[in-house]
Structure 1
Amino acid sequence: MFDKDQLDWEVGSSALQGLAPGDERPGNETCPRDLGSNACHSTYSTCQATSAQYNTGYVCRCHDGYQGNPYLSDGCQDIDECSLPDKCFANCTNLPGKYLCQCPTGTFGNPYIQDGCIRSQGLIIGLGIGSGAMLVLLVLGATAITHKIKIRRKKKIRQRFFKQNRGNLLQQLVCQSADIAERMIVTLDELEKATNNFDKARELGGGGHGMVYKGILSTLHVVAIKKSKIVIQREINDFINEVAILSQTNHRNIVKLIGCCLETEVPLLVYEFISNGTLHNHLHTKALVSLPWIDRLRIAVEIARALAYLHSLVSMPIIHRDVKSPNILLDDNLTVKLSDFGASRYIPIDQTGVDTTVQGTFGYLDPMYYSTGHLTEKSDVYSFGVILIELLTRKKPVSYRSPQGYSLVNHFVTLLSEGNLAQILDPQVDKEGSGEVVDVALLAAICVKFISQDRPIMRQVEMTLESIYAAMEYRSSDMTDESD
């Protein structure tokens, strides 16, 4: 029947008597089945008891969240609330008969109103911290990778230099049938540790081409390490040449080469450490008195011994080519150690000399070699003669100029020939010396003759000095005995 007051369909029935108006029962389960059929045919519907002035019965309703005709089978359909306006202002999920409205992750508040969800400050901080931590990890990772690449690259460079330098070294030694023992190879890591990464405080001195550092090896040996400042092919050749020569020499007055490092572009040389500086340092001090004359004469003898050994007692003669006082090291007992063999050259046994590019130090340089480029053992004899003059006069061959503009050698020879030797002698030598001073001066003058053939060989120079020194020692001992 139709209730005109409610404007709704009502199914008349006495089955719902006893229920208060508005009470419900599920449509397909407990609604009355009058006339053998339930009027509420939809699954998602319910029957609601009614009570009016004229009748009693029920009406059908769709469940909340559904809409449609409950009197038809499947007449009630789910409502998609998420598609409706002003239902949800955040993340909306439609469910059967209902919907889920939630604020997005990282926010909180009321999702059912406009701008009701507020971002969490804690999350922002967390994300910031997390992002910062991630950035730190990325930086650390990149740094570690870069460090590994640098180490790998450095290792490859060291290996390349090692092969290159070792090949050059072995080529130098082939003609000598000599073997550069593995014990002489020192790693760059060892030398960096020995010198505290070549700390400036470890510098002993050096020139325009290189620096010498004091180092302590893992064996606790104190050493001097020669490192080149510049990288040119000549420097590389000189260092290789020095290793080749010193690896074959054994003389108490020649500095001992302990080893070499081939892992750098220019090899590093490792020598015994000589603690007392150079002859140049001892002679050219500001003090009025320098080395005693007897020590100077003994030093001259020892230099002569070392050069005579190089010229005549090794398997293939060696010309030092840069004999000068800065290259004469002295130990604590003032014993000579001849050093710096970078410019040295072998002279084949069947030859008297070789033609080379001129190398040496002006003031000590053989003028004949300088003008011809022909290097012989007499070039070392000339340089040694200059050292004798330096020991006698205590003047610097490189910078000395007489009032007339003469070099030290020319002025010395001129005064000697005029009988005025005393004018240029070191007053200390004049005071401490005797007749042997003139003998040494005459020997020096012969050594520095312009024509190389007019000079003696080093063996003759050595023997002459030995006899002069022996006579001086004998005379000194006699004077000591008389005083006793």
Structure 2
Amino acid sequence: MFPPLLILFILCNTLHLSTCHSQSPPPPSHCNETCGELSIPFPFFLSNSSCAASPSTTAAFPLTCSNSTTLFLTINSDRYRVLQFFPDGVLVDFPASTCRQYYNLNAFPFAGNRYFGISEENVVGLYDCDDSSLCKPGCETTDYPGCDGDSNGSPACCYPLSDRSSWDLGDGFSVFSKFGCRGFTCWVVPRGAGVGKRGVKLEWALPGNSSSRLCASDADTVNATTVQSGLRCECRDGFVGDGYAGGSGCLKTCVKDGREARGGDCLTRRRSGKMVSILAGVLGPIFVVATLTALLCLLKRPTNGGTYEPNKDKLQNTLSFRKPWTTRSFTYRELEEATKCFDDGQKLTDATSSGEIYAGLLADGSPVAVHKVECRDQRDLSQVLSRIEVISAVFHRNMARIIGCCIDCGYTPLVVYEFPGNGTVEEHLRRREAGGLDWYQRLSIAAETASVLAFLQQEVSPPIFHHNLRSACLFLDDCHSVRVAGFRLHIGSEIGGGGIVHRSDVYEFGLLLLEMVAGTKSRELPAAALQRSGKVEEIVDPNLYYHEQTAFRREQIEAVADLATRCWLFGREGKIGMAEVAKELVHIAKESGDGGSRRGPALEETFSNSSLLQMISMSPDSIYVH
């Protein structure tokens, strides 16, 4: 417990430091290079300058300045004009020398490499498409400038790459040719902005498997979104700079005597009598609120029950992943603030032997899910961290990526997943008003879940099993595409030995399918399904309006219920495997009563080609994408 005087001292210093500017001027540049009106940030550099000889430069980021006014970036022998720099990317023009209303789909050949990827913030305008199903609503809310910089209105067909239903990470713009599109143009629309900027935003990142130090002191590591295993650095609050050890680093910034100060000047503490008087006048109510908040958070903070603290050196060694997909190390305080002191209102799952999961919001506004895992001793904790290492090295479009963890709180590690922000499957199934899941969405979610589980068990070596499959561990994005999370990280004896461990995934998936059909979960549900064999309508969720469905849709529901029962009956005995279940579900999903399909073929292609498109080798010597 904090003594009151210590809390008062902390508050005084907090208020003193709060005089720092929230909006600082541009941070110092690595080499102070410019071209025209553009200042060149790290890691970019002019190829003909002294900065090019710096040991911190990377061969992937040289630029050329033409006529001292126009900046160019060369990637794979293609030359792109640089229009603007972002903290996480660079806006470039099309290689063509003239601005057009739209370009051929092959006009921008680049799709991605280990340093650059096409940003999800791009919005694509598509022209003359045979299949308009990929066109998304919402374009009318943004202005899209034309070649002359004036508003170009909204394209007839637009597709935000963040949707990822028809385009995914690693795809180029030529992927839209399969929809019969013959032309496109592109804008970047920063989050929260109502005006697009013409051009293509490329996200950049540095390889995460570099042996040299990447981030400066007072900077955090940030995972790239579209660059596989790429990392960037970001200065913490109250600091300014590019965040890189090879760049300008991070400097403290504040206001001192009415002027901005940086670095060591901010550490000088002068208190005038006037400042002390002001602080004394405002600290009373703040002291009361802060004390109550501290007490609440301390009560919720996990304790070790009198046992010894785990060996932090061993834990850090465990977290020194050999994998290129490096996870971020969070502090307990960061996650405590993100989850509102792990408030019950933030819970996504109730407490089980696998732990609890909380929704949270990081300081930068990123939604996350925090999995609190209880361990009994150092051995359990080491096992959990080893399993985090294995899972975080695998990428699949329907897996929620592990972005970091926290080992500050004894034997309660906190695992941080990306969280798409549209809730869980359990939450959507419980909705009794408009906005719940229709049958197509449920079937699509089930097929995606089965495909990713089969991928993890059949095409990753060693295979990965979930052990904790339930609807609350399935996160949904805005398009109701699933992200599987909540893996059981401590595999104890209570799960069972031998083959029972991995077969439980099929059994649990059968229960999940029954929940999709019935709209609820109950221990009595499997027995009820068996007793009503041939009378599926008696257990079907009323919100699916079974009797109002077409005969074909009713057959689909019955087929899924039958598959669920087989998973439940034979999954633990190994008579049915996850790959077989996934293929059967994808086959059910791709069939439709009118001879068409909305999503099935894409699911089937994802599953059948996963060894080529999705698999990440788990060799201890090297990690690579096949």
Shift of 1:332: 1.7
- Relative to structure 1, is the Cα distance of residues 210 and 292 closer, same or farther in structure 2, using a 3 angstrom cutoff? closer
Residue type of the alignment partner of 2:419 = F
Shift of 1:474: 5.2
Which residue of structure 1 lines up, in the alignment, with residue 526 of structure 2? 409
Shift of 1:169: 4.9
Shift of 1:461: 1.1
Q: Which structure ranks higher in relative contact order (CA pairs < 8 Å, sequence separation ≥ 6)?
A: 2
Shift of 1:167: 4.1
Secondary structure, aligned partner of 1:271: strand
Report % sequence identity.
28
Which residue of structure 1 lines up, in the alignment, with residue 422 of structure 2? 276
Residue type of the alignment partner of 2:451 = R
In the alignment, is the contact (CA less than 8 A) between 2:336 and 2:342 conserved in 1? no
Answering whether residue 312 of structure 2 is matched by residue 162 of structure 1, we say yes
Structure 2: runs of 5+ lacking an equivalent: 1-306, 599-626
In the alignment, is the contact (CA less than 8 A) between 1:158 and 1:263 conserved in 2? no
Shift of 1:205: 3.6
Alignment of 1:335-346 (within 5 A): 335-343=481-489
CA distance in 2, matches of 1:161, 1:264: 12
Which residue of structure 2 lines up, in the alignment, with residue 381 of structure 1? 506
What's the CA shift string for 1:307-333, capped at 9, x where partnerless?
Answer: 101111112111211111111111221
Structure 1 residue corresponding to 2:346, chosen from 203, 213, 222 = 203
Alignment of 1:224-373 (within 5 A): 224-228=369-373, 232-233=376-377, 236=381, 239-265=384-410, 266-287=412-433, 290-343=436-489, 357-359=493-495
In the alignment, is the contact (CA less than 8 A) between 2:422 and 2:476 conserved in 1? yes
CA distance in 2, matches of 1:161, 1:202: 33
Greater Rg by CA = 1
What's the CA shift string for 1:24-50, capped at 9, x where partnerless?
Answer: xxxxxxxxxxxxxxxxxxxxxxxxxxx
Give the TM-score taking structure 2 as reference length.
0.40
Higher helix share: 1
- Relative to structure 1, is the Cα distance of residues 260 and 158 closer, same or farther in structure 2, using a 3 angstrom cutoff? farther
CA distance in 2, matches of 1:421, 1:206: 29
In the alignment, is the contact (CA less than 8 A) between 1:299 and 1:335 conserved in 2? yes
CA distance in 1, matches of 2:443, 2:310: 48
Shift of 1:455: 3.2
CA distance in 2, matches of 1:477, 1:217: 41
In the alignment, is the contact (CA less than 8 A) between 2:590 and 2:597 conserved in 1? no
Which residue of structure 1 lines up, in the alignment, with residue 537 of structure 2? 422
Secondary structure, aligned partner of 1:318: coil
Which residue of structure 1 lines up, in the alignment, with residue 577 of structure 2? 457
- Relative to structure 1, is the Cα distance of residues 217 and 224 closer, same or farther in structure 2, using a 3 angstrom cutoff? farther
CA distance in 2, matches of 1:276, 1:192: 22
In the alignment, is the contact (CA less than 8 A) between 1:310 and 1:317 conserved in 2? yes
- Relative to structure 1, is the Cα distance of residues 167 and 390 closer, same or farther in structure 2, using a 3 angstrom cutoff? same
Secondary structure, aligned partner of 1:207: strand
Secondary structure, aligned partner of 1:448: helix
CA distance in 2, matches of 1:159, 1:179: 27
Secondary structure, aligned partner of 1:281: helix
Which residue of structure 1 lines up, in the alignment, with residue 328 of structure 2? 184
What's the CA shift string for 1:37-83, capped at 9, x where partnerless?
Answer: xxxxxxxxxxxxxxxxxxxxxxxxxxxxxxxxxxxxxxxxxxxxxxx
In the alignment, is the contact (CA less than 8 A) between 2:325 and 2:392 conserved in 1? no
CA-atom RMSD, angstroms? 3.4
- Relative to structure 1, is the Cα distance of residues 385 and 184 closer, same or farther in structure 2, using a 3 angstrom cutoff? same
Structure 1 residue corresponding to 2:519, chosen from 384, 394, 397 = 394
Secondary structure, aligned partner of 2:500: strand
CA distance in 1, matches of 2:417, 2:437: 25
Secondary structure, aligned partner of 1:270: strand
Structure 1: runs of 5+ lacking an equivalent: 1-156, 346-355, 360-368, 399-406, 479-484
